[in-house]
Amino acid sequence: MNYFSSNFKLGILGGGQLGKMLLNETRKFDIYTCVLDPSEEAPCKVGSNEFYIGDLMDYDAVFNFGKQVDVLTIEIENVNVNALEDLEQQGIKVYPSAKTLRTIQNKATQKLFYVDHNLPTAPFSRFAYTVEIKDSIANGGLEFPFVWKSAQFGYDGMGVKIVKQLSDLDNLPNVECITEILVPFKNELSVIVSRTPSGEIKTYPVVEMEFHPEANQVEYVICPARISENVAKKATDVALKAAQAFNHVGLLAVEMFQTENDDIIINEVAPRPHNSGHQTIEASFTSQFEQHLRAVLDLPLGNTANKLNGIMVNLVGAEGHTGDVVYKNIESIMAMDGVTPHIYGKKQTRPFRKMGHVTIVNEDITEARKIAENVKNNIQVITE
């Protein structure tokens, strides 16, 4: 198949920042792209060859869009899986597969998948509705503290809550959900695995994620993680085993906990480019976005090694600011050594909305972390 400067069409479901960064790579290779997104203001609108507006959960919108392309991929999991299954029946290549997406879209089925495939994960209980949890507590089936997770449509701190007392349940939506035992852990780690339809498979170095204590969003992604070789190997092995269990094609970001006694357990997975891989654009020989393209098109996978240590800082909307965005002090961070900002193209900011990220590369990881903190303390995502 000739993908380059040809009639080949790559379809992307979702037009957000992940799609925008993927389009940088398709433009580099002159691959023709079609994007579907519900928003007129989607970041991908500028970079795609064809841009369509439609609801990603609507069967007809997804099916009719998918019929026009040769290979269909995603930059967001919440898409109509029935449409994808029918497109696969018609011979359209869909990566990741509809089967994988159906499993991953629902946190309860995702957790059951780990149990069935002997992949390490925190013990959990499954509930049809949140209100059922109180009965379980009353009957001694569940003890505080635990983590509540909405089974569907949760992301970036939405749909996840640590429940320490009964009243913490009061404002939660009454939806299908799971509860997990709160596992004491030292580190949150992530490994991005890339895999082609032919079965070639590669992993990126393990990254470590530092979280914002209130927003439950990643503040820093540090690559390589500051962990022992033994722990890094364990994490990589678990990630590889997960990708192979899913028979995954494309990128799979496997988020994990390193427990107090250095066991590795899977928190959750994302079957697409991921926040924990943004530093690869500057720090790696092959960015995660180029690698995703190579994987779904069954091209040889690129070198995943780091050229330099990399740290990524998320740029999120400041509290108390909703409206037209201003990036205050962006010039001062650009004056720092090894600092590259990425602005996603969202014109409107609101508290904790992901608006961009900044990568810091340096030969010394400690120095990179200092600069990252400096970046974090200087730049502000605000309104006029």
CB 362 within 8 A of CB 308: yes
Q: Are 254 and 204 contacting, i.e. CB atoms less than 8 angstroms apart? A: no
* pLDDT level of residue 384 (50, 70, 90 thresholds): confident
Contact 15, 44 (CB under 8 A): yes
Share of the chain above pLDDT 70, in %: 99
Q: pLDDT tens across 300-319, in order?
A: 999 999 999 999 999 999 99
Q: Is the pLDDT of residue 219 over 90?
A: no
Q: Is the pLDDT of residue 212 over 80?
A: no
State residue 350's pLDDT score: 96
DSSP 101-124: HHHHHSHHHHHHHHHHTT--B--E
163 annotated as ligand-binding: no
Residue 179's pLDDT is what?
97
pLDDT > 90: percent of the chain = 94
Tell me what the mean pLDDT of segment 68-80 comes to.
Answer: 97
Environment class of 337 (CB within 10 Å of its CB; exposed 0-12, middle 13-18, buried 19+): exposed
Average model confidence (pLDDT) across the chain: 96
What are the pLDDT digits (tens) for 140-160?
A: 989 999 999 999 987 666 789
Q: Which tokens go with 290?
A: 């180029």
At 211, is the pLDDT very low, low, confident or very high (cuts 50, 70, 90)? Answer: confident
Decide: helix, strand or coil at residue 163. strand
Residue 181 labeled ligand binder: yes
The two three-digit tokens of residue 55, written as one number: 């609801």
Asked if residue 264 belongs to a known ligand binding site, the reply is no
- Look up the pTM and report it: 0.95
Q: Whole-angstrom Cα distance, residue 206 to residue 203? A: 8
Residue recorded with tokens 């108390």: 320
Give the model confidence (pLDDT) of 115-140 as tens digits.
Answer: 999 999 999 999 999 999 999 999 99
Contact 193, 201 (CB under 8 A): yes
pLDDT, tens only, 348-371: 999 989 999 999 999 999 999 999
Specify the pLDDT at position 36.
98
CB atoms closer than 10 angstroms to residue 53: 14
Domains of the chain: 9-94 (3.40.50.20), 123-181 (3.30.1490.20), 185-383 (3.30.470.20)
φ, ψ dihedrals at 375, nearest 5°:
-60, -50
pLDDT at residue 155, rounded to an integer? 65
Please indicate if the annotation marks 107 as binding a ligand: yes
Residues 6+ apart with CB under 8 A from 363: 308, 309
pLDDT of 30 over the 90 cut: yes
Contact present, 33 and 12 (Cβ < 8 Å): yes
CA distances from residue 32 to 39, 210, 288 in whole angstroms, order as listed: 21, 37, 19
Per-residue pLDDT tens over the stretch 158-186: 789 999 999 999 989 999 999 999 999 99
The Cβ-side half-sphere exposure at 285, using a 13 Å CA radius, reads: 9
Look at residue 1 in the predicted model and tell me its pLDDT: 85
CA dihedral 340, 344, 347, 352 (to 10 degrees): -90
| 161 is known to lie in a ligand binding site | no
Confidence check: pLDDT of 16 > 90: yes
Q: In whole angstroms, what is the distance from residue 213 CA to residue 106 CA?
A: 25
Burial class (CB in 10 A: 0-12, 13-18, 19+), 135: exposed
260 is in an annotated binding site: no
What does the block give as tokens for 209?
A: 């994620």
Residue range 320-347, pLDDT digits in tens? 999 999 999 999 999 999 999 999 999 9
Structure confidence at residue 158 (pLDDT): 74
Task: Report whether 344 contacts 356 (CB < 8 A).
Answer: yes
Q: Does 208 carry a binding-site annotation?
A: no
Answer for the pair 106, 269: CB distance below 8 angstroms, yes or no. no
**What is the per-residue pLDDT for 175?**
94
